[in-house]
Amino acid sequence: MHFETRCVQVGVDKDSAYLSATTPIYPTSTFRWDDLQTNRGYDYTRSGNPTRRALEENLASLEGGLDARATSTGMSAITTVMYLLNPGDHVIAGHDIYGGTYRLFHDVFAHWGIRFSFVPMGDAENVRRALTPATKAVWIETPSNPLLNVVDIAAVVEVAHSAGAITIADNTFLSPYLQRPFEFGVDLVIHSTTKYLNGHSDVVGGCVVTRHREHADRVAWIVNALGLGCSPFDAWLVLRGVKTLGPRMEAHQKNAMALARVLVEHPRVERVYFPGLPSHPQHELAKRQQKGFGAMLSFDVKGTRADAERVMYGVKLFQLAESLGGVESLVAYPETMSHATMSVEARRAAGISERTIRISAGIEHPDDLVADLKQALDT
Ligand SMILES: *Cc1c(COP(=O)(O)O)cnc(C)c1O
């Protein structure tokens, strides 16, 4: 089946009683046993629930994996995979990964004895140089936030595997419609389903997708043991969102491209960060590795912080808000929002200035978005 067909069809058929066309929500904590030996496949919702299972089967299929587990948030998906490791293990991650992931690694798991190296992953050689005999995992996030640096997944996987380390990819920014890390040899994929997979800014959720039996079994065990699974209601919302993933991603990326084209030409804009522009340093890699350029872009306004503020307050259709991947367009200010917990020095070292604005392009009509951004820049 093609991708769009799998979005709509896989896993959803969970109503053997009435054959409803959509998946029912099973809001129950427990399930009755027929006798002391037999139940119908579910006994307690922390361990498993038919609505959650529908979503898991769907997501596993979209990434091309063996199995998936749906969790309460993206952070709980990341927590789950970190429990595959042991104290003393070493992990290599990009220096520009999602701020919440950095916090979880640096301020939580480091205290439990896991060691981390954060390296510029644009060059796979930096990963090789950071390897130690204790390296057990390499964390890949591409494209990065907010400057859209692209990591060569196959190259990093080769370095990691040569050292016997597993690779985990956070595929939130592109969704499996535009990038499937398993095709490049990655071992586990995680998502914040809060973003494109749900796509409607009305739920937080996550998932871990596995491709090896041993990881699938262990991840299922951890999600149950730690109690990280998502609620049946949230699973149902994400499952509903996923059905339109393909058409939404097409609309999102068309809008992002239209906005990027306006921004590169605009005299008040100094620099645009978008892998879809031929001027992006990894444009060719993005073309090779991704099935599209996605819908996240950032830009530096010329002048001062006040000039950037004027643009963010001047737009009328873009909501000033964190997060991404919803149908509505957003502008965000990394300086005081997503990257506020980094030190100023760390932000500047990462290339984020106080004139950097991030856009999550929604699915409104491109002409309206372009006109709105233009008037905010022109004012
Ligand atoms: C939002 C996000 C997360 C965290 O997900 P939550 O659902 O907010 O817990 C992780 N990684 C990336 C790339 C994200 O954008």
Among protein residues, the one whose CA lies closest to atom 1 of ligand 1: 192
Is 204 close to ligand 1, i.e. is its CB under 6 Å away?
yes
Which sequence positions are flagged as catalytic? 46, 98, 170, 195
What average pLDDT score do residues 291-297 get? 98
pLDDT band at 343 (very low <50, low <70, confident <90, very high): confident
Calpha distance 293→275 (Å, rounded): 6
Is 170 close to ligand 1, i.e. is its CB under 6 Å away?
yes
Among protein residues, the one whose CA lies closest to atom 5 of ligand 1: 74
Please identify, by atom number, the ligand 1 atom nearest to the C-alpha of residue 325.
15
112: amino acid identity, one letter: W
Among protein residues, the one whose CA lies closest to atom 15 of ligand 1: 172
- Is the pLDDT at 25 greater than 90, yes or no? yes
What average pLDDT score do residues 244-250 get? 98
pLDDT band at 342 (very low <50, low <70, confident <90, very high): confident
Domain limits, the chain: 3-242, 245-378
Q: Token digits for 310?
A: 């004027």
Is 206 close to ligand 1, i.e. is its CB under 6 Å away?
yes
* Gap from CA of 250 to ligand 1 centroid (Å): 21
For a mutational test of ligand 1's pocket, the pick from 75, 230, 238, i.e. the residue with the most ligand atoms closer than 8 A to its C-beta, is 75
Among protein residues, the one whose CA lies closest to atom 9 of ligand 1: 74
Q: Tens digit of pLDDT for each residue in 41-85?
A: 999 999 999 999 999 999 999 999 999 999 999 999 999 999 999
Residue-level pLDDT at 346 = 82
Q: Among the listed ranges 144-148, 190-194, 226-230, 343-347, which one has the minimum average pLDDT value?
A: 343-347
Domains 3-242 and 245-378 fall in the same CATH topology? no
pLDDT over 90 percentage in the chain = 95
Residue-level pLDDT at 238 = 98
Contact 320, 265 (CB under 8 A): no
Residue-level pLDDT at 78 = 98
Calpha distance 353→300 (Å, rounded): 8
Cα–Cα distances in Å, from 311 out to 145, 274, 346, 370? 20, 19, 25, 13
Among protein residues, the one whose CA lies closest to atom 2 of ligand 1: 192
Calpha distance 170→46 (Å, rounded): 24
pLDDT over 70 percentage in the chain = 100
- Is the pLDDT at 202 greater than 90, yes or no? yes
Is 194 close to ligand 1, i.e. is its CB under 6 Å away?
yes
Please identify, by atom number, the ligand 1 atom nearest to the C-alpha of residue 205.
7
Is 98 close to ligand 1, i.e. is its CB under 6 Å away?
yes
Average pLDDT, the chain: 97
Among protein residues, the one whose CA lies closest to atom 6 of ligand 1: 74
Calpha distance 330→226 (Å, rounded): 34
Name the CATH topology of 245-378: Aspartate Aminotransferase, domain 1 (3.90.1150)
Q: Which residues fall within 8 angstroms of residue 336, CB to CB, at 6 or more apart?
A: none
* Gap from CA of 75 to ligand 1 centroid (Å): 6
Name the CATH topology of 3-242: Aspartate Aminotransferase; domain 2 (3.40.640)
Q: Tens digit of pLDDT for each residue in 139-194?
A: 999 999 999 999 999 999 999 999 999 999 999 999 999 999 999 999 999 999 99
Calpha distance 235→92 (Å, rounded): 31
* Gap from CA of 16 to ligand 1 centroid (Å): 35
**Distance, CA of 247 to chain centre:** 18
Is 97 close to ligand 1, i.e. is its CB under 6 Å away?
no
Q: Are strands 188-192 and 135-141 parallel, antiparallel or unpaired?
A: unpaired
